[in-house]
Structure 1
Amino acid sequence: MPDPWQPLHKLLAAMDAEIEQVYLARGIEGVRPRFAYPLIRLAHTGPLTIRELAASLDRSHSALSQTLTAMRKEGLVTSEPGPDARTRRIDLTERGRSLVPFLEAEWRATHATVAELDAEIPYALTNAVEELRRALERRSMRQRVLDHLVEPRR
């Protein structure tokens, strides 16, 4: 049975790959589009714990932790012990800070591109996402899956 979400996942991956090509064309290596928002946020807030940064970006601690590990490997952020043994404070490196003006410009250009795409297609994707979110508020994905789930006999 084909995965109904595969075309969307492929499209998003292709769009990210194209944005990464913009970075590479500017000589910016090792930076992924998913790094932009955390780098921009840290530039505006200063050091934050992983939990604080995740909350400010509306991302899970786990997902952001993986992203930050990749960002550390690329020399974009540092990680130091926080106020207690369980926390880590994240800050920009000089390299990370130097990329922020370009990443902010790319962020604005990406937003303009999304608006352009929304105007170009018969039904704006941003509207579709919002309507899907509202539908899932009315009845959760979990409940919908359970309503359709027919478990095999044991």
Structure 2
Amino acid sequence: MTITELAESVQRTHSAMSQKVAAMRAAGWVRTTTGVDARTKRVALTAKAQRVAWRLAAEWRATEAALTELEAEVPYPLSRVVRDLEAALRRRSFHDRIADQLARDPAWQP
């Protein structure tokens, strides 16, 4: 995939993905090649990454299964908690909430 395709697939900016790819390339996990034009880079796993990819996929499957099992045990699914928290944080950031609490705390005042 190209860096742009990777960024879109995980809903991140091109810049953020480019930084991640550079770090992964430095660590030996991916290699990059020039794409259809000089502005495009294609990213591929190295042999080192391919040797561990099956373990990462197994870990992901186990995580998903454990989450499904956990959600069956509680009346309020974690996936719903995450969506509700995301919506609340879009309305007012965690930073703003902390800043407001500190503004009301006399111990925080100079």
Say whether the fold is shared (TM-score over 0.5): yes
The aligned residue for residue 108 of structure 2 is none
Give, in whole Å, the separation in 2 of the partners of 1:60 and 1:114: 28
Alignment match of 2:15 (pick from 62, 65, 69): 62
Runs of 4+ residues deviating >6 angstroms: none
Whether 2:55 is the aligned partner of 1:124: answer no
Give 1:90's aligned residue.
43
Are 2:6 and 1:53 aligned?
Answer: yes
Whole-angstrom CA distance in 2 between matches of 1:55 and 1:119: 32
Q: State the alpha-carbon separation in 1 of the partners of residues 39 and 81 from structure 2.
A: 40
Return 5+ residue gaps in structure 1 as ranges: 1-47, 150-154
Q: Secondary structure, in 3 states, of the residue corresponding to 1:83?
A: coil
**What SS class does the counterpart of residue 28 from structure 2 fall into?**
coil
Q: Letter of the aligned partner of 1:80 in structure 2? A: T
Residue 63 of structure 1 deviates from its aligned partner by 2.6
Q: In the alignment, which of 48, 67, 75 is matched to residue 28 of structure 2?
A: 75
Counting only pairs closer than 5 Å after superposition, residues 2-151 of structure 1 correspond to structure 2 as: 48-120=1-73, 123-133=76-86, 140-141=91-92
Query: Secondary structure in 2 aligned to 1:79?
Result: strand
Runs of 5+ unmatched residues, structure 2? 101-110
RMSD between aligned residues: 2.7
- The TM-score normalised by the length of structure 1 is 0.50
Whole-angstrom distance in 1 between the partners of 2:59 and 2:12: 21
Deviation (angstroms), 1:50? 0.2
Aligned length: 95
Find the structure with the greater CA-based Rg. Answer: 2
TM normalised by structure 2 equals 0.66
Q: Sequence identity, in percent? A: 47
Structure 1 residues 63 and 115, CA, compared in 2 at 3 Å: closer, same or farther? farther
